[in-house]
Structure 1
C-alpha cells in the first residue's frame, strides 16, 4: 500500500490500513497506481474532459453527457468508499476535498484511488467537506460535458448510499451503515433511500436509486436492476431475482 501524502498525520496511514479488509473490492481505492496526481485535477476542466473522452472510447459512445455520467458513476463511489468505511469503524474520516487528496487512475481512465493528507474527526465536519468536494467536481464535470448537475448530484447521493450500506454490512450492522449515509448527505445531495426485498428465506436491503448511470444508453442494453427508469413493479421483480442469486 502506498504511503499517505507528505504532511499527513502519522495515524492516517494506519487508519487506511485498518479498513483494507472491510473495503473488499474497494480496497483498491486506498492503494495508488504508478502515477499519483494531485487531487486538484478532479476540478480541472481539461483533465475531466480527457476522462470523458477516455470513457467514450471505452464504450464506443460519442455523447459527452452520457460519458461523463458513466465516469462519475464509478468515480463517486471510489471517492467515498474509504471515508465512509473509516468513519463507520473508527469515527474519523479522511478529508475528501480535492485539494487535500492525491489520486490515481486505472488503465481505463476510471478513478482508482484517492488518499487524503488530513483527518476529520466528526460526522458533521465530514458531511460539510463532502458537500464542498462534490460541488467542486460536479461543477467542472457538468461544464465540460453538458451533463445536468442535478443528475450528477443524484449519482453522488446513490454512491454514498451504496458504499455506506457496504460498510455497514462489513461491520455486521447494515442499518448502522444506512444511518451513516443519512447523516452525511446535505443539500444539494439528495436524501438517501433504501428498500428491503423479501426473497425465499432471506430479506435483502438495496439502495432505492434516484439516479441512472446511463450505461443502457451507451451499450443499447438493458437497464440495471435498480434503475429508476424501470417501472416500480419491474424494478421490484429484478431486485427480487437478485435476492435469489
Structure 2
C-alpha cells in the first residue's frame, strides 16, 4: 500500500460523528479518561470538568459565525463532526447555516444541547441544570472573545441577551461585568476545577464577592497598558 506524503505537514485530523455525544458508552469513556487526566474517580466531577472544556469548543465556531455573519450554524449532533482530546474536545465542525438572528440561535441551542446534556447528566450523575449553567458561561465566553476581535471591541451584552431570549434552557443567562474598562464574564456556574490541582478560576462563583472583585481588579490592572 502506498501512503501519500503530507509534505511535512501534520496528519489530518479524523473527524468523528457528532452523534457520539449521545452515546452513553462513548461518553462514559470520555468521563473516565477525564478522571484519569485529573486524577479523579468521581463521575460527577469528571463529567463536569469534561463539559466545561467540551462546551466551549462545541459552541466556538457556531458563535463565531453568529457574531461575524449574523446567523449561527447547526449544532445538532446529526449535523456536526468532532475531534476529541484528553478531557474535552479538540475541534467541532458545525453543520449548515441557521436562519439569521441571535434569538433563533438561542432556540436552536435548546434543541441541539438538550439531548447532549441529558445524556451526559445520566452518565456522569450531574444535574442537567448545572450543565446548562456551564453552557451559558461558555456561550458568554465565546461571545466575548468573538466580539473582542471586531473593530471597536463591541459590547457582547446585546447579542448575549438576544440569544438568551430565544432559549428557555440557558439559565442563568450570560452575564458580564466591567472592571477598569475591561469586560469579564460574570460566571454563574462552577466547573469544579477547584476540586483538582488546577487552582481556582479567576471569576469562580464560589469565591466571596470581595475576593472575586479583588482578583478581577488585579487582573484588569495588570492587563492595562
Q: TM-score range by the shorter chain?
A: 0.7 to 0.9
Structure 1 distance, partners of 2:175, 2:123, is: 30
Q: Tell me the number of residue pairs that the alignment of Structure 1 and Structure 2 aligns.
A: 208
Aligned residues of 2:117 and 2:128 also touching (Cα < 8 A): yes
The secondary structure found in structure 2 opposite 1:51 is helix
Structure 2 distance, partners of 1:173, 1:47, is: 43
- Judge which range, 170-179 or 108-117, deviates more: 170-179
Q: Which TM-score applies when normalising by structure 1?
A: 0.80
The alpha-carbon deviation at position 76 of structure 1 amounts to 0.7
Structure 1 distance, partners of 2:60, 2:17, is: 19
Alignment of 1:47-196 (within 5 A): 47-106=26-85, 108-123=86-101, 124-185=103-164, 186-190=167-171, 191-196=173-178
- Aligned match of 1:21: none
Structure 2 distance, partners of 1:109, 1:210, is: 22
Structure 1 distance, partners of 2:22, 2:150, is: 33
Aligned residues of 2:133 and 2:170 also touching (Cα < 8 A): yes
Structure 2 distance, partners of 1:33, 1:145, is: 31
Structure 2 distance, partners of 1:115, 1:121, is: 18
The alpha-carbon deviation at position 91 of structure 1 amounts to 1.6
CA-based RMSD of the aligned residues comes to: 1.6
- Aligned match of 1:38: 17
Structure 1 distance, partners of 2:20, 2:45, is: 21
Match of 1:218 among 188, 192, 196: 196
Aligned residues of 2:49 and 2:87 also touching (Cα < 8 A): no
Larger radius of gyration, structure 1 or 2? Answer: 2
